[in-house]
């Protein structure tokens, strides 16, 4: 589904990603771990198309496309979703209107007619249940006045609505208490199918107790320094990163 080769990226002249290689197949869950400043968030933003970062080398193939040539909205239409570490507040634009715009833009791309109001509301209700979100959220401004946990749940709700093929979750667990973590993780597990894939970016093993990865990568200083199975996450939890960095 996704094939990354020799990906390098910089911001304001400073190189952050220094050659990333890995592939994701449908049905897989990948975890990317690493200390602060290793480039995890940059990698997720580059994959979703944030033009704040300059891609200086490498290629990224997604399904049949050269991903790097697509605008962020085109990537979204083709099934890429990025769950933000710090979701943005949009006052005055209600969740329901925001999602209606997003869904119908995607349907336009797929040559489908817009959803009727009834279809849309039914879908909203179903997907809100996935993350145990109260219906009052739908009329509130996007992320406005939401607690940290509510914002993250809203990200998973949006993901459920958009039904992506490849979801990248950037530190979705940061700032979550145990209950919110459980809700977010069970939301992800409910949405997992053999046809989609997840890249979970996290500092901690904690989230991976709930969402079990197939493959774990450790990113450090812009490079993947270790790739292994789910046991790697446990090892990082007990031993930290030093043994990998210095080894």
- Give the range of 3-11, 84-92, 119-127, 211-219 binding another protein by CB under 8 A: 84-92
Query: Contact 159/191 with Cβ under 8 angstroms?
Result: yes
Minimal distance in Å, beta carbon 221 to another protein?
Answer: 24
Give kind and range of the element (H or E) at residue 121. Answer: helix 117-130
Among 22, 84, 137, 157, binds another protein (CB under 8 A): 84
Among 66, 101, 139, 189, binds another protein (CB under 8 A): 101
DSSP string, 60-102: EEETTEEGGGS-HHHHHHTTEEEE-SSPPPEEEEEHHHHHHHH
- Give the range of 6-14, 42-50, 54-62, 200-208 binding another protein by CB under 8 A: 42-50
Query: Contact 61/68 with Cβ under 8 angstroms?
Result: no
Q: Binding to another protein by residue 109, rule CB under 8 A?
A: yes
Applying the rule CB under 8 A, the residues between 55 and 74 that interact with another protein are: 71-73
In sequence order, the 6+-apart residues with CB closer than 8 A to the CB of 207 are 172, 173, 181, 185, 200
Residue 89 structure tokens: 């507040």
By CB under 8 A, name the binding residues for another protein.
Answer: 45, 48-52, 71-73, 75-77, 80-82, 84, 87-88, 90-93, 98, 101-103, 105-106, 109, 141, 158, 162
């Amino acid at each position: 589904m996704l094939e990354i080769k020799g990906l390098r990226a910089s911001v304001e002249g400073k190189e952050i990603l220094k050659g990333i290689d890995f592939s994701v197949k449908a049905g897989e869950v990948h975890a990317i771990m690493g200390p602060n400043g290793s480039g995890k968030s940059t990698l997720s933003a580059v994959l979703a198309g944030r033009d704040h970062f300059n891609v200086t080398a490498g290629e990224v193939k997604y399904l049949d496309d050269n991903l790097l040539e697509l605008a962020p909205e085109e990537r979204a239409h083709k099934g890429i979703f990025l769950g933000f570490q710090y979701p943005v507040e949009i006052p005055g634009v209600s969740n329901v209107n925001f999602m209606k715009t997003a869904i119908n833009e995607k349907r336009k791309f797929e040559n489908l007619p817009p959803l009727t109001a009834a279809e849309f509301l039914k879908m909203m209700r179903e997907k809100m249940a996935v993350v145990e979100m109260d219906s009052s959220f739908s009329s509130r401004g996007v992320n406005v006045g939401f607690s940290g946990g509510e914002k993250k749940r809203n990200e998973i709700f949006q993901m459920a609505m958009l039904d992506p093929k490849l979801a990248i979750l950037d530190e979705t667990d940061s700032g979550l208490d145990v209950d919110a973590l459980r809700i977010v993780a069970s939301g992800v597990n409910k949405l997992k199918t053999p046809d989609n894939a997840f890249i979970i970016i996290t500092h901690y093993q904690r989230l991976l107790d709930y969402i079990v990865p197939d493959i774990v990568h450790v990113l450090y200083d812009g490079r993947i320094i270790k790739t292994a199975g789910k046991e790697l996450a446990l090892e990082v939890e007990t031993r930290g990163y030093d043994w990998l960095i210095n080894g």
